[in-house]
Amino acid sequence: MTPEPLPYLGRPGKVIAVHINYPSRAAQRGRTPEQPSYFLKPSTSVAASGATIVRPRGCELLAFEGEIALVIGRRLRGVSVEDGWSGVAGVTAANDFGVYDLRYADKGSNLRSKGGDGFTPLGPRVIAAETIDPTQLRIRTWVNGELVQSDTTADLLFGFGRLVADLSQLITLERGDVILTGTPAGASVVVPGDVVEVEVDAPTMPGAPSTGCLITPVVEGKFEFGAFGAGPKIDDLQRAEAWGSVEANGPVTAPPFVLTEELKVRINSVGTATLSSQLRKRGLNNVSIDGLHSTRPTVRLVGRARTLRFIPNREDLFTAHGGGYNAQKRAFDGLGVDDVLVIEARGETGTGTVGDILALRAQVQGAAGIVTDGGVRDLAAVTALDMPTYHHGGHPAVLGRRHVPWDTDLTIACGGASVQPGDIIVGDADGLLVIPPHLIDELVTDGIEQEREETFIAEMVGAGEGVDGLYPMNAAWRARYRAWLLQQ
């Protein structure tokens, strides 16, 4: 039996969440409420620290909101603002997760978008209310170790005692009920493979009490929504609110990254070695997928990563996950134009990870290529395709000899590199690179300039000049380079 997430209090009878309560969030949303407003979350949405949250398959906008949770200590009805805090047993860390893809279906209730199983992690510890001043708490949130939210309760729009009093005017609050008190600015979107941590502490109080870090890894759902209910749907408004991008008069969203034909031409004008050196200048040294061979070494590979992960074979797991329309088949069927399927096979060369039928399916779908750090079956037939496949060697064995197809579209490891869905994959005879999409434009621009400089340097060396002061160029050579540019 799964233990209760808060065994010392039991599963909350009610979880009540406040919409907006931090001035920083109000400024971000472009609206400041005169009075608090609320919504309910099911008690089944509560989860413990360390439990995973599942982004439903087909959804894009799973957003986190680090919050302070009040744990009610006794039955309350009709208490005053002054007595509200006395009814709180303690505070703990919370994360008010939601999928903005389903907000349209809720009509304000937030039931589907925020009520999913595991969408309200709490813990890991409760700070006793009598040991702290509720106006001196701090809330912080990290995503993959990077601090993304940090605020205090010093200037809340609605103090904790007021929230308790307001709710108790109409609703009986029971011992163990939880009130989520709002999130500060910085809430945004996470994807499978991310890890979100939330901590509540009182750094100015004696002993600096802390809840400890509430840890929630994000994973991808394995089941599609049925046709009998509202499915995921998003627009610019939901995308902007999920990412937290707003102006004073409403949300603004940056356009999603698109690998245009023009950008592909520019990428292809720059050598992979040049792109690698530009990545190194930006501190990114571990971005090459190593040790693989291409079926089409003269064909340049440029595309956006989609990912597939295999785990080591275990017979019972393969029975459950290896047959039917498994993750491998879904991954290939889901490929589109310019996609590169990157497969984590743990460097295992003792079996195939893809064969001729699935490789053909990828090509027909318009995929740019396949990258696997495992083996390839039907290697001659796969090599005959126009689309390049990077691999660790041929092998005649079927998948189940060493692998179970497990999950898709999450952060994986391939050939010693971390790869996230949406990363730009560039490959040629020099090797394979993984490029964060937000860097690609400046990377190519600087790479074009680097190759222009190297053309000049090569021309000078070919004319008999020595490399001292020329490579790299000192001030004198750079002046000659600028003059050379004007003649081109």
Q: Do 77 and 25 share a structural domain?
A: yes
Q: Classify residue 442 as left (phi > 0), alpha (psi -120 to 50) or beta.
A: alpha
pLDDT at 240: 80
Is residue 3 scored above 70 in pLDDT? no
Is residue 403 in a domain?
yes
User: 242-274, pLDDT tens digit by residue?
Assistant: 887 544 233 444 456 788 899 999 999 999 999
User: 381-440, pLDDT tens digit by residue?
Assistant: 999 999 999 999 999 998 888 999 999 988 999 999 999 999 999 999 899 999 999 899
Q: Do 462 and 378 share a structural domain?
A: no
Strand partners, 175: none
pLDDT at 256: 60
| Closest-CA residue to 15 (of 174, 169, 241, 165) | 174
Instruction: With residue 190 as reference, give the H or E element that holds it.
Output: strand 189-190
Cα 474 from chain centroid (whole Å): 43
Q: Do 218 and 300 share a structural domain?
A: no
Q: Do 83 and 169 share a structural domain?
A: yes
Q: Do 161 and 306 share a structural domain?
A: no
CB distance 267 to 442 below 8 Å:
no
* 139 exposure class (CB count in 10 Å sphere: 0-12, 13-18, 19+): buried
Is residue 54 scored above 80 in pLDDT? yes
- Cis before 472 (ω within 30): yes
Is residue 422 in a domain?
yes
Strand partners, 123: 93
Q: How far apart are CA 66 and CA 48, in angstroms?
A: 14
Residue span of the structural domain in which 296 resides: 287-435
Is residue 11 scored above 90 in pLDDT? no
Last-in-domain residue among 197, 221, 247:
247
Q: Do 82 and 123 share a structural domain?
A: yes
User: 76-135, pLDDT tens digit by residue?
Assistant: 999 999 999 999 999 999 999 999 999 988 877 899 999 999 999 999 999 999 999 999
User: 142-177, pLDDT tens digit by residue?
Assistant: 999 999 999 999 999 999 999 999 999 999 999 999
| Helix boundaries (H) for 193-249 | 236-243
| Closest-CA residue to 60 (of 212, 189, 183) | 189
Q: How far apart are CA 11 and CA 213, in angstroms?
A: 20
Taking the CB of residue 10, how many other CB atoms lie within 10 A of it? 12
Is residue 29 in a domain?
yes
User: 327-345, pLDDT tens digit by residue?
Assistant: 999 999 989 899 999 999 9
User: 181-223, pLDDT tens digit by residue?
Assistant: 999 999 999 999 999 999 999 999 999 999 999 999 999 988 8
pLDDT at 9: 53
Strand partners, 195: 217
Distances (CA, A) of 276 to 8, 132, 283, 310, 433: 53, 52, 11, 28, 7
3-class secondary structure, 123: strand
Is residue 234 scored above 90 in pLDDT? no
| Closest-CA residue to 151 (of 65, 215, 35) | 65
What percent of the chain has a predicted confidence (pLDDT) above 90? 73
What's the rounded mean pLDDT across residues 454-480?
Answer: 89
pLDDT at 246: 43
Q: How far apart are CA 282 and CA 302, in angstroms?
A: 21
Last-in-domain residue among 435, 460, 479:
435
Is residue 390 in a domain?
yes
Pairwise pLDDT comparison (301 vs 469), residue with the higher score: 301
pLDDT at 245: 58
Is residue 180 in a domain?
yes
Last-in-domain residue among 222, 247, 272:
247
Instruction: With residue 382 as reference, give the H or E element that holds it.
Output: helix 379-383
> In this predicted structure, which of 18-22, 53-57, 253-257, 280-284 has the lowest mean pLDDT?
253-257
CB distance 141 to 149 below 8 Å:
yes
Is residue 8 scored above 70 in pLDDT? no
Is residue 395 in a domain?
yes
Q: List the CATH number of the domain containing 96.
A: 3.90.850.10
Is residue 10 in a domain?
no
Q: Do 176 and 53 share a structural domain?
A: yes
Q: List the CATH number of the domain containing 392.
A: 3.50.30.40
Instruction: With residue 83 as reference, give the H or E element that holds it.
Output: helix 81-84
Q: Do 117 and 31 share a structural domain?
A: yes
Q: Do 323 and 365 share a structural domain?
A: yes
The overall pTM is greater than 0.75: no
| Closest-CA residue to 151 (of 78, 214, 222, 67) | 67
Q: What are phi and psi of 54, to 5 degrees?
A: -100, 120
Q: Do 305 and 400 share a structural domain?
A: yes
Task: Look up residue 79 and give its two tokens.
Answer: 């208490």
What Rg do the C-alpha atoms of the chain give, in angstroms? Answer: 27
Is residue 47 scored above 50 in pLDDT? yes
Q: Do 231 and 358 share a structural domain?
A: no
User: 332-378, pLDDT tens digit by residue?
Assistant: 998 989 999 999 999 999 999 999 999 999 999 999 999 999 999 99
- Domain tally for the chain? 3
Instruction: With residue 220 as reference, give the H or E element that holds it.
Output: strand 214-220
What's the rounded mean pLDDT across residues 443-465?
Answer: 91
Q: How far apart are CA 129 and CA 89, in angstroms?
A: 5
Is residue 271 in a domain?
no
Q: Do 394 and 308 share a structural domain?
A: yes
Exposure b/e, 316-343, CB count within 10 A at least 16 = b: eebeebbeeebbbebbbeebeebbbbbb
DSSP 8-state code for residue 376? B
pLDDT at 4: 40
DSSP 8-state code for residue 422? T
